[in-house]
Structure 1
Amino acid sequence: MNELNQKINEHFAGKVVRKDLTKLVKGNAIVPTYVLEYLLGQYCATDDIETIEQGVETVKNIIAKHFVHRDESQIIKSKIREKGSHRIIDKVAVQLNDRQDRYEANFANLGLNRVPISDAIVKEHQKLLSSGVWCILTLAYISSDERDNTPWMVETLKPIQVSNVDIDEYKNVRKYFGKEEWIDVLLQSIGLNPEEFTFRSKLIQLTRLVPFVENNFNLIELGPKGTGKSHIYSEMSPHGILISGGEVSKAKLFVNNSSGEIGLVGYWDVVAYDEFAGKTKRVDRGLVDIMKNYMANKSFSRGTQVYGASASMVFVGNTDHSVSYMMKHSDLFDALPKDYYDTAFLDRMHCYLPGWEVQKLRNEMFTSEYGFIVDYLAEILKNLRKEDRTHDYSKYFELSSTITTRDKTSIAKTYAGLVKVIYPDDDYGEEDAKEILNFAIENRKRVKDQLQKMDETFLEDLVEFSYTSKTTGENITIVTLEEIENTIKTVSPSEVETDEKTSTPKVTAKNLETGQKIIIDNQSGISYENLFGDYLLSATDIKITDPYIRLPYQLRNLMELAKLISEKKEQEEEVRLHLITSNNEDFIENARGAFEQMRYSLESMDILFSYEFDENIHDRSIVMNNGWKVVLGRGLDIWQKTGGWYDINEYVQEKRLCKACEITYLKVANTK
């Protein structure tokens, strides 16, 4: 095991599980991850390989014998009748039959309805009265000659969820993990491979957990298909429920006026709406009005009676257009149904997650390492809902006085939720707080910016999304990443003059300045052309120092830079291109072969390529004999992985998402 896996198992023995095991035991069972990991937690929460193998077989047998598949429901019914009783795993919902004055259970997969269940069981597990809970239960069959009397009866029932967690132990153990380590533990816990995500991408994933840890948190995430927007709300916690956006009604969500039954917001910590977008969807306007009131005031009414609830509301859906298109022609709420395309409703959103920054999930993005049993993590998050951290940011920072109360509340709730997730022990410094506050402000600013595009009255609030550090006095203004990307000007990197003797274009670099360019995680629109194009002009001797030019995509980056050099050099001019890199025995032969092939290939373009290996280098730069040096914070490897050959990002640099880095432009002695 790697170091992080060893650490998790050492400090959270019995509370972690290897994440690839769920695939081994799931088979064709349509069951949430938390149900499977609940069982795996009983038998496989260890790092002992032999115990894991035995545990997997045990869980497989439990699933095979007790999980109810819809197509095998009649076989299970027959087995219960023959044996008198049988233990099953199914999703159970309970309703009150007021005519017979009894509670009755409905079974999702078994297909049985109106099965009597005792008042004591319902009183102990009131969530059964909502849309259903996965349970392990013993169902009995007792034949009777009485007319209209059902032979089915629930003997015992236990919802599939961890009953008790030690929140103090969880907080105390947090101190043994660094920030990056802890974030990676959480990523692995929700099934993702942290090596495939930038820090900003990890924050986006962890923000999906905030509704589970923060009361009455309203989140919206719109983006392309296939990015896992809804997965976490259906699979990762028994305290959240995912419903189709088209199935929502006032009675189902809030209160049934005819029966008086409380709806979903009364029983669940998180109510998430899947497939929320869609301009042609029909929506109950009355429901929108009730939701607006609930999202603002944490309450809803039935007649004269007012009910309070703490359920967070999450809205996920697909966008119809690219971000650049929406920024230019409409707004980022463009895909919503007409009745939800309401500024008063959307102003209640505390956080708008940029779903377009999340890459489509590929196989390598899932982890097979250790993480918390998701049911254990779900109970921890539920316990943390009791804590109020919404004023914690004020220890270090003061928000601009122009920020409205609703904006401040939104920022504070997002900040508090992420602090609970990443720093449950409340042990973090100002720089850590700054990272989270910046992200929280950006996700509220995204909402406000779109409201101003939709309704000019919002422009009357001259809000400056900024804050001041109480320790340094520095004032920091926040802009969204899509603002940065869509205000980058595509400028030709050079001015073209005509050579008087040959009447051919003569390329010269003008008005170049020293300075620094900051690239943010997930930023797009960046290419070698707009980073280096100007600075390569008139250079005939170029030296690249980068210790990591060995993997296929790193070699691709080098060739793309060589292509740019060929486009920038003057015709009939030779350019010497020298690479200094390091390597190890696993890659050096392949790299040497690739470099030799490059050398031969680039000769035809008048680029004389050479290379050397130096195990002592660390810094990364491009030095040119035209008087310029570019210091590369990450080297040439500035982009995140693409989806491969059939992903347009593989061929268009500007479409790729970047990793955070800094690029510095320096004037040096001209050695030409």
Structure 2
Amino acid sequence: MTELDKKINEVFPGLVVRKDLTKLVKGNAIVPSYVLDYLLGQYCATDDEDTIYSGVERVKDILAKHYVHRNEAALVRSTIKEKGRHKVIDKITVDLNDKTGCYEATFSNLGIKGVLVESSIVKKHKRLLVGGVWCIADMEYSQSEDPRIVPWIMNSLKPIQVSHIDVERFLEGREQFTSREWIDLIIQTIGFDPEQLSQRNKMFQITRLIAYCERNYNLIELGPKGTGKSHLFSEFSPHGILISGGEVTVAKLFVNNTTGKIGLVGYWDSVAFDEFAGTQKKVDKSLVDILKNYMANKSFSRGTETLGAEASMAFLGNTKRSVPYMLKHSDLFDELPDKYRDTAFLDRLHCYIPGWEVDVLRGELFTSGYGFIVDYFAEILKHFRNYDYSLEYKDIFELNSTIAQRDLDGVRKTFSGLMKLLYPGKGCSREEMQEILSFSMEGRKRVKGQLLRMDETYIPVTFSFTDKESGKEYFVKTLEEKQYPEFFGENGQVTEEATGQNQKIPQRETSQPALESGKHIQVTENQKGISFEKLFADYLKGASSITVQDPYIRYFHQAKNLSEFIQMVLKIKPVGDEVDVKLITKMDETGSSNQEGLLSRLQENLEGSGINFTYEYDEGNTIHDRYITTDTGWKIILGRGLDLFQQYDYKDAFCLANNIQEERYCKAFEVTYIRSKD
């Protein structure tokens, strides 16, 4: 156990669990993490190994006996009938039967509906009326002579969430941790190993939580798939709901004007739209208009009545293009459906998380350390929705006077949320507050920068703030501005380069007059000083499409060679351009390699890089020739394919050959360069 884990258990006994236990007990139960954490918290909230072991077995037993698997629903219904009573864990939705005036429950997995629910339960747990809630229900079966009467009886119903939290104890516990320790505790609560994440990446993960502790917070995150964008909004809190972007309707989200029934925003603290991006998606314009009004005014209309709501909005989507490509040719909202590219809608967003900076989920990212029981922490976050920390900086810092009101709102909302998460007792140093303010400002500046690209009527502002004591002014830049300054002007505003109007941007080369067609080289065994860049770079420059045919890309070292070849292509291509790289190879019919796994991992890791990598297997599985072709007319014939180097210790990070191709011993091979067209 780490020193941090020891401290966590000492300060918050009974309120934390080991985060790897969730996987141990989940099995094939399709339930959110907070449901499992709730059960683990009942039996495993300790650092005693024996108690943990017995607790895990107890939770497994509870899930085995009471969790309803959809394919075993008939068996569970039979158990209830034969035993007379039986407790079940299921997702339950309640609706009002207009004809009888009674509330009736539907069990998602158990497959029964029309179960009567007392009004007092519905009044206490209103979210049962929309979206469904995971509950433990004590069920009974009583056959009636009247076939119209539902035989299922609910004796008790308990939503899976903690009933009481001691906020003072939480605040006192926070004071015993340093800022770094507290951040790591939150990261472990989410389920990640803080040692595997940079400080900036930790802040992105924590920013996702603001929707749970800040009312009416509007967040967007766009980036490659596989970064865990949707996890926190579907599994972390019983107060949040994740819906598919394609399933959103005005009636579901706000109000059904026919029935008058309030939608999701009236019952949930956070509503997240998954798969929000996609240029081909159809979007209801009236939904966008209502969203704009709600995000700005925290209200919507039901007939002639105006209703307020507190639900935060999170818009989550995948991007296909690389960041420099989007900056050069359009903007960072490039992947959104056309109707959501409405600048008035986008201007309501408080923060843009750059998903391309967030680590793709992989095994070593997950922690075996201790974190808060999720539903306990979720209740703490819900408690802080009642407070406003947005102006805590005012005695120390002053924001630039040019910053517009909507920009101020965005900065302050993010700042308030981060303060609640990191410094709920409001005790932070000047330097720590400066870091939070800078990070909050960057999130809003990313939004404003795109608005300036999309609509020239927006007025540029300076995102900066001044230390009232020292007079020092802090200017905030997004990481994109620092990495790709050629696409930004003064203060990060859009430039002619960004719209493709300035010819100083490096243009793709389309000819190589100095290169000789028919050139042939031979490399002898054990020769050094050879690299893919020296062999191929000059012939690949300017190409937007490259095909590699190599029948033997099967094993790790062969896939690593291919990866290094693609890295070389990435290195030589102009910033902001994209290159298609296609591999044609033979399928390993012996099954002795992990060919598909290696190639799919390579493809996944290249997403958003500017290299569009695809691969296919030869239909006849008979290809033998090895070559590279380009859309600029070059064909490079490879005697040995890309397998040019002798074995080296690729596991040794300090081995020169592992990092520098020129330091590797070569196999004997030949290469011929042919220009097929002008």
Q: TM-score range by the shorter chain?
A: 0.7 to 0.9
Change (3 A) 1:471 1:137: same
Q: Which residue of 1 aligns with 2:470?
A: 472
Q: Which residue of 2 aligns with 1:123?
A: 123
Paired residues for 1:633-672 under 5 Å: none
User: What is the rounded CA distance, in whole Å, between the counterparts of 1:305 and 1:488 in structure 2?
Assistant: 51
Paired residues for 1:295-444 under 5 Å: 295-444=295-444
Q: Which residue of 2 aligns with 1:288?
A: 288
User: What is the rounded CA distance, in whole Å, between the counterparts of 2:337 and 2:11 in structure 1?
Assistant: 48
User: What is the rounded CA distance, in whole Å, between the counterparts of 2:413 and 2:341 in structure 1?
Assistant: 23
User: What is the rounded CA distance, in whole Å, between the counterparts of 2:222 and 2:657 in structure 1?
Assistant: 46
Q: Is the 8 A contact 2:340 2:346 kept in 1?
A: yes
Change (3 A) 1:148 1:369: same
Change (3 A) 1:284 1:44: same
Change (3 A) 1:6 1:265: same
2:214 is the counterpart of 1:214: yes
Change (3 A) 1:592 1:373: closer
Residue 320 (structure 1) shift: 2.1
**Secondary structure of the equivalent of 2:73?**
helix
**Secondary structure of the equivalent of 1:326?**
helix
Q: Which residue of 1 aligns with 2:149?
A: 149
Q: Which residue of 2 aligns with 1:260?
A: 260
Q: Is the 8 A contact 1:94 1:104 kept in 2?
A: yes
Paired residue total: 510
Change (3 A) 1:591 1:116: closer
**Secondary structure of the equivalent of 1:331?**
coil
Q: Which residue of 1 aligns with 2:12?
A: 12
User: What is the rounded CA distance, in whole Å, between the counterparts of 2:219 and 2:460 in structure 1?
Assistant: 24
Amino acid at match of 1:163: S
User: What is the rounded CA distance, in whole Å, between the counterparts of 2:43 and 2:435 in structure 1?
Assistant: 39
User: What is the rounded CA distance, in whole Å, between the counterparts of 2:277 and 2:260 in structure 1?
Assistant: 30
Q: Which residue of 1 aligns with 2:673?
A: none
Residue 82 (structure 1) shift: 0.9
Residue 593 (structure 1) shift: 9.8
User: What is the rounded CA distance, in whole Å, between the counterparts of 2:466 and 2:654 in structure 1?
Assistant: 54
Residue 305 (structure 1) shift: 0.6
**Secondary structure of the equivalent of 1:376?**
helix
User: What is the rounded CA distance, in whole Å, between the counterparts of 1:334 and 1:482 in structure 2?
Assistant: 15
Paired residues for 1:495-644 under 5 Å: none
User: What is the rounded CA distance, in whole Å, between the counterparts of 2:151 and 2:659 in structure 1?
Assistant: 78
2:106 is the counterpart of 1:106: yes
Deviations 1:621-657 (A, max 9, x none): xxxxxxxxxxxxxxxxxxxxxxxxxxxxxxxxxxxxx
2:132 is the counterpart of 1:132: yes
Residue 597 (structure 1) shift: 11
Change (3 A) 1:338 1:175: same
Q: Is the 8 A contact 1:207 1:418 kept in 2?
A: yes
TM-score, normalising length: structure 2: 0.73
User: What is the rounded CA distance, in whole Å, between the counterparts of 1:316 and 1:419 in structure 2?
Assistant: 23
**Secondary structure of the equivalent of 1:395?**
coil
Identity level (%): 57
User: What is the rounded CA distance, in whole Å, between the counterparts of 1:419 and 1:445 in structure 2?
Assistant: 19
Q: Is the 8 A contact 2:237 2:378 kept in 1?
A: yes
Q: Is the 8 A contact 2:657 2:663 kept in 1?
A: no
**Secondary structure of the equivalent of 2:181?**
helix
Residue 159 (structure 1) shift: 0.2
User: What is the rounded CA distance, in whole Å, between the counterparts of 1:595 and 1:341 in structure 2?
Assistant: 48
Amino acid at match of 1:467: F
User: What is the rounded CA distance, in whole Å, between the counterparts of 1:296 and 1:338 in structure 2?
Assistant: 20
Q: Which residue of 1 aligns with 2:178?
A: 178
Q: Which residue of 1 aligns with 2:201?
A: 201
2:487 is the counterpart of 1:481: no
User: What is the rounded CA distance, in whole Å, between the counterparts of 1:604 and 1:57 in structure 2?
Assistant: 55
Amino acid at match of 1:378: A
Q: Which residue of 2 aligns with 1:273?
A: 273
Q: Is the 8 A contact 1:193 1:366 kept in 2?
A: yes
**Secondary structure of the equivalent of 2:164?**
coil
Amino acid at match of 1:68: V
Change (3 A) 1:102 1:323: same
**Secondary structure of the equivalent of 1:310?**
coil
User: What is the rounded CA distance, in whole Å, between the counterparts of 2:664 and 2:362 in structure 1?
Assistant: 38
Change (3 A) 1:394 1:81: same
Q: Which residue of 2 aligns with 1:562?
A: none
Q: Which residue of 1 aligns with 2:585?
A: none
Greater than 2 Å deviation, 4+ residue runs: 488-491, 590-599, 601-605
Q: Which residue of 2 aligns with 1:56?
A: 56
Q: Which residue of 2 aligns with 1:462?
A: 460
Deviations 1:386-438 (A, max 9, x none): 11101112121111110011110110010010011011111101100111111
Residue 147 (structure 1) shift: 3.3
Q: Is the 8 A contact 1:393 1:412 kept in 2?
A: no
Amino acid at match of 2:466: T
Change (3 A) 1:594 1:476: closer
Q: Is the 8 A contact 2:400 2:463 kept in 1?
A: yes
Residue 247 (structure 1) shift: 0.7
**Secondary structure of the equivalent of 1:14?**
coil
**Secondary structure of the equivalent of 1:390?**
coil
User: What is the rounded CA distance, in whole Å, between the counterparts of 2:256 and 2:155 in structure 1?
Assistant: 29
Q: Is the 8 A contact 1:34 1:374 kept in 2?
A: yes
User: What is the rounded CA distance, in whole Å, between the counterparts of 2:73 and 2:663 in structure 1?
Assistant: 67
Paired residues for 1:21-36 under 5 Å: 21-36=21-36
Q: Which residue of 1 aligns with 2:532?
A: none
Q: Is the 8 A contact 2:657 2:664 kept in 1?
A: no
Q: Is the 8 A contact 1:44 1:56 kept in 2?
A: yes
RMSD: 2.5
Change (3 A) 1:604 1:488: farther
Amino acid at match of 1:470: K
User: What is the rounded CA distance, in whole Å, between the counterparts of 1:423 and 1:156 in structure 2?
Assistant: 39
Q: Is the 8 A contact 1:239 1:268 kept in 2?
A: yes
Q: Which residue of 1 aligns with 2:528?
A: none
User: What is the rounded CA distance, in whole Å, between the counterparts of 1:276 and 1:112 in structure 2?
Assistant: 32
Deviations 1:576-622 (A, max 9, x none): xxxxxxxxxxxxxx9899589999x96999xxxxxxxxxxxxxxxxx
User: What is the rounded CA distance, in whole Å, between the counterparts of 2:397 and 2:261 in structure 1?
Assistant: 45
Q: Is the 8 A contact 2:656 2:663 kept in 1?
A: no
Deviations 1:486-517 (A, max 9, x none): 116999xxxxxxxxxxxxxxxxxxxxxxxxxx
Residue 139 (structure 1) shift: 1.3
Amino acid at match of 2:285: R
Deviations 1:62-118 (A, max 9, x none): 000000000000000111111122100000010000111100101111111222111
Amino acid at match of 2:69: H
